[in-house]
Amino acid sequence: MSTAQIPIHRAVMDDSLRKATATRAWLAERRLKMFNFIGSPGAGKTALLEALADALAGRLKFAVIEGDCATARDAERVAARGISAIQIVTGEGCHLPAAAVHQALADLPDGMECILVENVGNLVCPAAFDIGETAKIAVLSVTEGEDKPLKYPGLFRKAGAIVLSKTDLLPHLRFNLDTCRQAIRQINSAAPLFELSAKTGAGLPALADWLAQQKS
C-alpha cells in the first residue's frame, strides 16, 4: 500500500501548494499581508479578533476569513464589530485548505491593508498546511497549561508570532508563566511573544502595534 500512497499524497500536496502559491502572488500584487491565527478551540482567537477590531480602528484596515467545522458564528461575531468577514465551513475538515482560502479572497472588499485568518480550532493539523500566509500566529491560552508548546511543537516551531491569551485568568490557575515562556523559547527562540487578555485589553496594544507595523 505504501508505494501506492506516495504519488497520491504528493499530488494532493502539489495542488495545495499551487493554491498557496497563487494566494501569495495575489497578496503580493495588492501589497497585502495575511496572518494565519492557529490554536485550540476556545484559545480565544475570535475574542482576539474582536478586540483587534477596536485596537486597530483607524490604523489598519483588515478583513477576516474564518474557519470552523460548522456554523457561521465566528464570522457573525467579527462582522458585528464592523469588520468584513467570510466564513468557511469545513464540515469534518480539521484545517482550512489553501483552495478554500484562495477562493474566499475574491469575495473580500477592496481597500484592505491586511487579512487575518482564523483557522479551524486545532493545535495540530492547521500547522501542516500552508495557505499562502505571510506568517502563522500561534494562539495558546493560559488555561491550556504550560507544557503545550513541548507537547505540540509543530505549530510553535513554525509560528512567526506567538500569543499567550487569557492572562486575566492567571490568578485563578495553577499556571507558571516562566515555565511556559521557557517551553515556548525551547521550541522557538525568535518569534515575538505577546502575553495578553482580550477581555481586559492588557497587553493588546503590543500585538496591535506589531500588526500595524507589518503594513507594506
Q: Which residues bind a second copy (CB under 8 A)?
A: 1, 4-5, 8, 11-12, 15, 40-42, 68-71, 73-74, 92, 94, 120-125, 128, 141, 143-145, 147-148, 150-154, 166, 169, 172-174, 199
- Shortest CB 13 distance to a second copy, Å: 11
Closer of 5 and 213 to a second copy (Cβ): 5
Closer of 154 and 160 to a second copy (Cβ): 154
Closer of 33 and 166 to a second copy (Cβ): 166
- Shortest CB 190 distance to a second copy, Å: 20
Distances 129 to 94, 97, 106, 147, 159 between C-alpha atoms, Å: 11, 7, 21, 23, 13
Closer of 31 and 172 to a second copy (Cβ): 172
Cell, residue 154: 509543530
CA of residue 216 relative to chain centroid, distance: 19
- Shortest CB 166 distance to a second copy, Å: 7
Indicate the Cα dihedral angle 76, 77, 83, 85, nearest 10°: -40
Closer of 145 and 203 to a second copy (Cβ): 145
- Shortest CB 147 distance to a second copy, Å: 6
- Shortest CB 59 distance to a second copy, Å: 27
Exposure string over 72-97, b if 16+ CB within 10 A, otherwise e: eebbebbbeeebbbbbbebeebbbbb
Phi, psi of 68 (to 5 degrees): -155, 160
Distances 27 to 14, 56, 114, 198, 212 between C-alpha atoms, Å: 20, 20, 9, 28, 16
